[in-house]
Amino acid sequence: MRRRLLGFALVLMSVVLLMAGCGKKDAGAVVKDLDKLADGLQSYTTTGTMTLNTGTEPQEYQVEVSFQQPSYYRIALTNQKKDISQIVLKNDDGVFVLTPHLNKSFRFQSDWPENQGQVYLYKSLVNSINQDKERQFTTDGDSYVFDVMANYSNASLSRQKIWLNKKTYAPQSVEIYDAQNNPVVVMTFNNFKFDETFEKDYFDMQRNMTGARLVLPTLGQQPGTGQATGAAQPGEQAAGVSGAGSAVGSSGTAGGASGTAAAGSAGGAVNGAAAVNGAGNGAAPASSSAGGVSSIGNAAGTTGAGAAGNGTAATGAGTAGNGTAAAVPAAQQEAAIIEPSYIPQGVGKPQISETKVGENPAVLLKYSGTYNYTLIESRPTDKSASFQKGELIDLGLGFYGVMTGEDKKTLTWMDQGVEFRLSSGDLPVAEMVNIAMAVQGQSIK
């Protein structure tokens, strides 16, 4: 009898343990599900925030990603504080890097992103999990957590932790660490939707250029200064609307459209003329601003409120400097200087001089030594359309530059509203990337 009771107890315990284990998945089962999901993935959209802890203070970027089979991508990266906006697009015509507010685009023939993993792309995360046979696996509330190698272009990144929703396998967050286990990149997904439907021309280059330019003019506005940036630059026509944009002033906001100059502010004035109380008094050069503050490429004047229409300037609610935009001394009209924190070994300090890129004032930094190269910095105001071929260069952590030229190469990228052009005939590409990455987070001098 006692043996029967003992046997029954053992069977009952086995059943309880078996039931307790039901519903739980190990790493192998989850990886198998992820592979199946990735292979059948038709489309998705997501938005999130990517924080980079690589400079003196964290840099935060807003990220939007759209994907559709077979290999269509649209990635929008924005940093309001640093006045950066970039769209990476892939369609049947190739891979594009778009800077809509400058009306510039570069096209590449590339197998991106298959050859470059990115923290905000779903397949990159799945591949990272699948490829690391020594992956570590655990659970955290409603999440599966994988600790795997970080297979990104930045060699300083060592490992990453990936949080996935237990029910849907949608990514929730990713943390990437350096060799000292410091979190260098933190990607937080605000939402993630599988099987999204897109309009036919959603991934079209021209649609994204014109559509984004109607949204991006808000980048770089500085409330309370009367300084306007974005589409309302001198002589510009944005997406078929002449001078479309907004100017923010200390006593209100004035919008101008249909060929109008924004009221109460020189921002949005065509050809640099500052519209003051509808009279156009006081022409302000494109490289001057009220109050004697140098801001190349932005014309600023009085502040005020009111809407302009049908080719007239609305009357502003107030004036600054008797309705005249203060002229800035030539010495203050220079482009701001951002010196990279990294210089290759054997290269000396730069010689700095003034130059021009088109009609835009610029600064030239000339380096010599083991390698010889120049770095040109400017704040572009001319919006001439450009369509150039080049090579897509990952500047680390998801932002891109454009490499052009053969014997003499030029790497171009944007940061803090400044366009950088790094040119050299002997500087290795890896060193060019190191210099570009060293610019991020540097302060303007």
Short-list 229, 196, 225, CA closest to 85: 229
Which secondary structure element, helix H or strand E, spans residue 104, and what is its range? Answer: strand 104-108
Question: Which pLDDT belongs to residue 79?
Answer: 82
How much is the pLDDT for 103? Answer: 76
pLDDT at 350: 96
Quote the pLDDT of residue 443.
55
Of 328, 238, 239, the closest CA to residue 292 belongs to 328
pLDDT of residue 185: 93
Nearest to 229 by CA among 221, 237, 239: 221
Instruction: Give, as one character, the DSSP assignment of residue 335.
Output: P
Query: Token digits for 271?
Result: 């050809």
Residue 2 class from Cβ within 10 Å (0-12 exposed, 13-18 middle, 19+ buried)?
exposed
- 369 and 347 Cβ atoms separated by less than 8 Å: yes
pLDDT digits (tens, 9 = 90+) for 161-187: 999 999 999 999 999 999 999 999 999
Phi and psi at residue 361, to the nearest 5°: -60, 145
Task: Please give the pLDDT value at position 370.
Answer: 96
The helix-helix angle for 27-39 and 122-131 (nearest 10°) equals 140
Query: Would you state the pLDDT for residue 241?
Result: 34
347 bridge partner residues: 369
Determine if residue 243 is left, alpha or beta; phi over 0 gives left, psi from -120 to 50 gives alpha, anything else beta.
left
pTM greater than 0.85 (yes/no):
no
CA atoms within 13 A on the CB side of 439: 28
Tens of pLDDT along the chain (445 residues) come to 555 555 555 545 554 444 444 457 899 999 999 999 999 999 999 999 999 887 678 888 999 999 999 999 999 998 877 667 889 999 998 888 888 877 778 887 777 887 778 899 999 999 999 999 999 999 999 999 999 999 887 778 899 999 999 999 999 999 999 999 999 999 999 999 999 999 999 999 999 988 766 554 434 333 333 333 333 333 333 333 333 333 333 333 333 333 333 333 333 333 333 333 333 333 333 333 333 333 333 333 333 333 333 443 333 333 333 333 333 333 334 456 888 989 999 999 999 999 988 888 999 999 999 999 999 999 877 555 556 677 788 886 567 888 888 889 999 988 777 889 999 999 999 899 999 988 865 655 5
User: Is there a contact between 61 and 52 (Cβ–Cβ < 8 Å)?
Assistant: yes
Q: List, in order, residues 6 or more apart from 29 with CB less than 8 Å away.
A: none
- Give the phi and the psi of residue 101 in degrees, each rounded to 5: -70, -10
Gyration radius (Cα) of the chain, Å:
27
Helix extents (H) in 186-281: 205-213
Positive or negative, the CA dihedral 405, 408, 410, 411 is: positive
pLDDT of residue 315: 36
168 within 8 A of 41, measured Cβ to Cβ:
no
Q: What is the pLDDT of residue 266?
A: 35
Secondary structure element (H or E) that encloses residue 353, with its range: strand 351-357
